[in-house]
Structure 1
Amino acid sequence: MSTQAMPASSPLATVIRVTSGNFLEMFDFFLYGFYATYIASTFFPSGNEYLSLMLTFVTFGAGFLMRPLGAVILGSYIDRIGRRKGLIVTLAIMACGTVLIAFVPGYATIGVAAPLLVLTGRLLQGFSAGVELGGVSVYLSEMAPPGQKGFYVSWQSASQQAAVMAAAALGYLLNQQLAPGVIGDWGWRIPFFVGCSIIPIVFVIRRSLQETEAFKARKHRPAFREVVGSMVANWRLVLLGMMLVVMTTVSFYLITVYAPTFGKSVLKLSAADSLLATFCIGLSNFIWLPLMGALSDRIGRWPLLVVFTVLPLLTAHPVLAWLVRDTTFAHMLEAELWLSFMYASYNGATVVALTEIMPADVRTVGFSLAYSLATAIFGGFTPVVSTWLIQVTGDKAAPGYWMAAAAACGLAAALILYRPWRGARARSQPQ
């Protein structure tokens, strides 16, 4: 079979092709978060529910520690050999991790090898994901028509929301058809098997990508040593980019991956209610992301970055405290939709801003390193931190403090990067 890219029939077809891997990645990540209690009992039995759940979330977070490594190694590879070929490589690595997690027998069958294999699968996924978001975002920014980068790049995050909705809908269907004991024994694996069946389709779709004109026009392709040198020289930019992303990655994992566990284990809502609320959050994000990406094209990035870090800084904990005081499905949905609106509005400007502030010759690795550091240090461990905060403080709304702290990081980075007090020009482009 030929490996040459087929011409894209339309911008929509190209967006679908490039974001298909994003869909697969988030589909699997969300499943891990939702079925955390079943994964804990299957692979990390300890006789202590809190300890087993913490081990499960630590394993989930461990994959994020591989992201910076994947960002530098795979990011430099993509900046050297091309966006299209690199995105195919990242998909292959991601697929290996997905298959491994889906088919590993439980602790009762193969003992300690079970959690070690699950950890290996998460590390492979993390290594791949370290550059997946960056590769997709850079591809979308380079193919976007002038003045529409925010709108086009927003579909990177929107594709993740489609995955959240698909996974939540599948989980809800299984919850209606299978008894809780069956789901706990083996039924939780069915969605992971579905994810594995998607892999060949995504490969076919992604192989049809074309290389971006912006990359083909570049005369210089930096070697790995040059890439590392550029990252060292631009360490302040990478650090500020990481701070900018902290708000996005913490709030995303809080309202999607951790939300079902929060609903079931903390608020004591049913699994069906938690899944239904999460589906609605995915739909809300899917709607708001492209709208706010387009808005950032019209008014600039910094107004959205500032407004939607100040709002969660002031409201994240109070909203969750209100939910904890009067817990109902309707109130959980209202609280989550408010958090969703703030996340999507901020993210619509953040991701495209990150592609704009990085040097063109190392755009993929610069974006990926900043994003993966934020995810590895902060966002990926949001389920662990949230579980720990509730345990040590006794405050069920404590995850709101974590989101507020992330918002403070984003606000500081936005003010430093865009320096709005320097005049109108700073309102549209970073200094």
Structure 2
Amino acid sequence: MTKYLSNTAGLSKSDATLVGFLALTIFCLLQPLAGALSDRVGRRPLLITFGVGSMLGTVPIMTALAGVTTVGAALALSLTALVIVTGYTSINACVKAELFPTHVRALGVALPYAIANALFGGTAEYVALWFKNAGAESGFYWYVAGCAAVSLVVYTTMRETRDAALSRSERGGDIPQPA
């Protein structure tokens, strides 16, 4: 976000850094609150809210951020995006753990996570710069919104994990002994 605010919106590097610092500080404080909310209402509602918010909010928020001229406006838009993202970041580790029984959890969580991060997280800056260099920077916003739409399909079809037993012993089964 700091690079984006500096390179695209034209904020000074110090102002862009200040916006990033303030936004991330508030974002950190939101994590336990959203986690507690998911304990009350469930994980799926937060994930679905994140999916809808990301799918519908990415393009307008990023477009508006490109034209900001003040720290206040940049902070407000950045926080709007981060509040949406909190629906994922605050609970994603719990959801991933709750989706898999303990005997396959490490593989079930780690392999898809590593593949997705390599394909999408690791290439995000390159994809964004490709769109920018092609003169179609907003194409990246649509790419992100499309990825959010795919995630939304997953969230709407997954089971609720809030009350999932995390081990066989919690479900009343035997805990497998090492061979």
Instruction: Tell me whether the two structures share a fold, i.e. TM-score over 0.5.
Output: yes
Deviations 1:186-215 (A, max 9, x none): xxxxxxxxxxxxxxxxxxxxxxxxxxxxxx
Opposite residue 305 of structure 1, the aligned amino acid is L
2:141 is aligned with 1:400 = yes
Answer 1 or 2: higher relative contact order, Cα 8 Å, separation at least 6: 2
Q: For residues 16 and 152 of structure 2, what CA distance do their matches in structure 1 show?
A: 31
Alignment TM-score, normalising by the size of structure 2: 0.82
2:16 is aligned with 1:274 = yes
Aligned to 2:158: 417
> Which of residues 75, 79, 84 is equivalent to 1:337?
79
Q: Do the aligned partners of residues 380 and 281 (structure 1) sit closer, same or farther apart at CA in structure 2, a change above 3 Å counting?
A: farther
Deviation at 1:391, TM superposition (A): 2.1
Alignment TM-score, normalising by the size of structure 1: 0.36
Q: For residues 140 and 11 of structure 2, what CA distance do their matches in structure 1 show?
A: 17
Aligned to 1:377: 119
Alignment map for 1:114-125 (pairs within 5 Å): none
Residue identity over aligned pairs, in percent, reads: 29
Opposite residue 278 of structure 1, the aligned amino acid is G
Q: Contact 2:5 / 2:65 at 8 angstroms: preserved in 1? A: no
Aligned to 2:49: 307
Which is higher, the Rg of structure 1 or of structure 2? Answer: 1
Deviation at 1:301, TM superposition (A): 0.6
Q: For residues 372 and 285 of structure 1, what CA distance do their matches in structure 2 show?
A: 24
Q: For residues 27 and 36 of structure 2, what CA distance do their matches in structure 1 show?
A: 14
Deviation at 1:351, TM superposition (A): 2.0
Aligned to 2:25: 283
Deviation at 1:384, TM superposition (A): 1.2
Deviation at 1:339, TM superposition (A): 0.9
Q: Do the aligned partners of residues 278 and 399 (structure 1) sit closer, same or farther apart at CA in structure 2, a change above 3 Å counting?
A: farther
* Structure 2 residue runs without a partner (length 5+): 165-179
CA RMSD of aligned residues (A): 2.0
Deviations 1:110-138 (A, max 9, x none): xxxxxxxxxxxxxxxxxxxxxxxxxxxxx
Q: For residues 5 and 162 of structure 2, what CA distance do their matches in structure 1 show?
A: 40
Opposite residue 48 of structure 2, the aligned amino acid is V
Q: Do the aligned partners of residues 286 and 413 (structure 1) sit closer, same or farther apart at CA in structure 2, a change above 3 Å counting?
A: same
2:53 is aligned with 1:295 = no
Deviation at 1:396, TM superposition (A): 4.0
Q: Which has the higher helix share?
A: 1
Deviation at 1:395, TM superposition (A): 4.0
Q: For residues 68 and 140 of structure 2, what CA distance do their matches in structure 1 show?
A: 17
How many matched pairs?
A: 164
Deviation at 1:428, TM superposition (A): 4.4
